[in-house]
Structure 1
Amino acid sequence: MNDEKLKEEVRKACEILKNGGIILYPTDTIWGIGCDATNEVAVKRVYELKLREDSKAMLVLLDDVGKLASYVEVPDVAYELLEVNDKPMTIIYPNAKNLAKNLIAQDQTIGIRITSETFTKALLYRFRKPIVSTSANISGEPSPRCFAEISEVVKAAVDYVVDFRQEETTNPAPSSIIKLDVGGKIQIIRK
């Protein structure tokens, strides 16, 4: 895909997000359903689309480590983990703030992944807010490994389907998940 096409897709997706819409988009792991992570109404729509209880938290994506402190308390060890990490890693941080209340777990934590994937990084840079990222499936169904495996129900329920990387058939690995407490104690949830 050329740069102009990428810019156009980022622009379209950004407009949808700004207006409280939901997008279907490629991430650094699998295809995701996303919305503005600060918009409670948009987050509620994602839970409804997935038929998922809002007590099951979803993660958010950011494009830069420097933005973390705006949304969570960042134990020092998090910066060290992110520095040495070489594959997608979601860290569950304590004391979430400045996000939609229905996105934050009951224990006030939130999972955040810093993306380096081309499309999401460009979208996050332009949108300037975190974006929800949850697998592109109805809760309880298998996560699609590529765009072709996403159900028509999900495709029809979103406001915009990003036209980027749809032809890929690779099976990306899910991110590792690590939970940190305020003191920096590490708990590995998924390797």
Structure 2
Amino acid sequence: MGLNHEINKTLQILKEGGLILYPTDTVWGIGCDATNEAAVKKIYELKQREDSKALICLVADDRMLKKYVNKVPEAALDIIDISEKPTTIIYDEAQNLASNLIANDGTIAIRIPDDDFCYQLSRKLNAAIVSTSANISGQPTPKSYKEITPEVLKGVDYVVNLQREKICDKPSSIIKLSNSGIVKIIRT
């Protein structure tokens, strides 16, 4: 009942279009297959959030990142390499993702997590995974599994049984990197 069991069980749920609650490299997240429009819609409904507010995706590596971003700026790879804390980058020209996941301006927020479970899950699914904080929109982000509300716990199809004692203070930094070379810090 270790890591492999959890990965296999979680993969099964994701492939069936279900929602998962899982520990990421930052906070506990609600996730689904980022290429499945119906699953993404379920996340917006659970979070009681309109789908014009884009969600973050996690991918396993640079190769997978290039599958979802038409042109990855060189600076992005440098930022990913040198960042000492989890950093999400907003890219122009998102592609091959659920259309309701992509922002109105065609951008997508993606992070390559430094977390074995998230890496293996994304790699084995061979797809990006949505990662949005495990709360109803407008409520505080839970810092630990214990702080997740019953509403969220009941709203997902599977709760990953790993790192339940982990406490996390901060979500990732967010940087917007446009193809024109403009860099904007969204969240530090």
Q: 1:30-69 maps to which residues of 2 (within 5 A)?
A: 30-69=27-66
Partner of residue 21, structure 1: 18
CA distance in 2, matches of 1:183, 1:161: 40
Listed one character per residue, the Cα deviations across residues 137-171 of structure 1 (whole Å, up to 9, x for unaligned) are 00010000000000011001100000001122x23
CA distance in 2, matches of 1:69, 1:171: 29
Q: 2:122 aligns with which of 103, 124, 129?
A: 124
Matched, 1:8 2:5: yes
Root mean square deviation, CA, Å: 0.9
CA distance in 2, matches of 1:183, 1:75: 9
Q: How far apart are 1:118 and its partner, in Å?
A: 2.0
Contact 2:11/2:121 (CA < 8 Å) preserved in 1?
Answer: yes
Contact 2:64/2:127 (CA < 8 Å) preserved in 1?
Answer: no
Higher mean C-alpha deviation, range 118-127 or range 6-15: 118-127
The DSSP-based 3-state class of the residue aligned with 1:112 is: strand
**TM-score normalised to the size of structure 1?**
0.95
CA distance in 2, matches of 1:113, 1:172: 18
Higher mean C-alpha deviation, range 63-72 or range 157-166: 63-72
Partner of residue 143, structure 2: 145
Q: Which structure 2 segments of 5+ residues have no match?
A: none
Percent of aligned positions with the same letter in both sequences?
A: 53
Q: 1:97 aligns with which of 77, 95, 100?
A: 95
CA distance in 2, matches of 1:188, 1:182: 15
CA distance in 2, matches of 1:176, 1:186: 13
Q: How far apart are 1:65 and its partner, in Å?
A: 1.5
Contact 2:72/2:91 (CA < 8 Å) preserved in 1?
Answer: yes
**TM-score normalised to the size of structure 2?**
0.97
Listed one character per residue, the Cα deviations across residues 161-186 of structure 1 (whole Å, up to 9, x for unaligned) are 00001122x23321110001112221
CA distance in 1, matches of 2:150, 2:13: 20
User: Aligned residue pairs: how many?
Assistant: 187
